[in-house]
Amino acid sequence: MTDITPAEFAIDARRIERTFRIGDNRIEVLKGVSLTVERGEKLFLVGPSGAGKTSLLYTLAGLEKPNAGEVHIEGRSLYALGRQQQARVRNSRMGYVFQSFFLLPELTAMENVMVPAMIGGRQARERALDLLDRVGLAERAGHLPTELSGGEQQRVAIARSLINDPAIVFADEPTGNLDTRTGDGVMELLMSLASEQSRTLLVVTHDNRLAASGDRSVTLIDGVIQ
C-alpha cells in the first residue's frame, strides 16, 4: 500500500483495530474503522460512552498504536515512522487539548503554554504571551493552575496546543469538565482559533449540540462508524 495519500487529507485512517485484554477477555474497542479528514475541516466525533471515541482520537493522534490498520498524517504513514520521527510529527504538526487540562501544577500559565515549544528546543516566550492574550489571559500569565478557574485552565491548554503552530488540533471532550456556559465559550474560542489558520480540528464530544457547530460529525457506536 502506498505511503502517500491525496493532498487534501490531513488524516487518512484505514481499517483501524484496537483491542485490549482484561484477564482472559479480549475486548474489541475499534473494529476496522476507516476515516478521512480534509485539511482545514472541523470534524466532531460523537457517540455514547464506551463507543471507542477516545481510543480512536488517541490512535489518530499518534498516542496509541493500533493493533492493525494504518494512519496517514498529511500523506505520511505515522506508525511506519520510528519513535523519534513520530515524536517530531506530534510535536510539530499536532496540538492536543484534553478534558482534564493536564497543566503542570508547578508551572505558571505562560510556562505551561511554552512546554511543547521547549520540547522542540525553543523558548517561544513572546509567542506564549501572544497566545495567552488571544485567549484572554494575558493578565494571568504569571498565575499557577490552582489560581485559575476551570475555564481559564482550559484556555491555557488551548494556547498550549497552538504554541508550535500545528496543522491539526485534537481535542478530547474539551468541555467535559466545564459548565455549559463556560464550555460554549471555550468551544467557540477553539473553533475561532482553528479557523484563523485553516487548521484541521478533530473533537471528541458527547454533546450533539456542540457537534452541530462543526463542518461534519461522525458517530461511533460499539467501535464502528455508523
Confidence check: pLDDT of 98 > 80: yes
Average pLDDT over every residue of 129-147 = 96
The residues near 62 (Cβ < 8 Å, ≥ 6 apart) are: 71, 73, 78, 79, 86, 89, 90, 94
pLDDT band at 17 (very low <50, low <70, confident <90, very high): very high
Which band of pLDDT confidence, cut at 50, 70 and 90, is reported for residue 121?
confident
Average pLDDT score over residue span 46-50 = 91
Return the CATH architecture of domain 42-61+81-218: 3-Layer(aba) Sandwich (3.40)
Query: CB of 137 within 8 A of CB of 159?
Result: yes
Taking 90 as the threshold, does the pLDDT of residue 26 lie above it?
A: no
* Per-residue confidence (pLDDT) for residue 2, from 0 to 100: 46
Residue ranges per domain, the chain?
42-61+81-218
Residue range 161-194, pLDDT digits in tens: 999 999 999 999 999 999 999 999 999 999 999 9
Per-residue pLDDT band at 149 (split at 50, 70, 90) = very high
Asked whether residue 5 carries a pLDDT value surpassing 50, the answer given is no
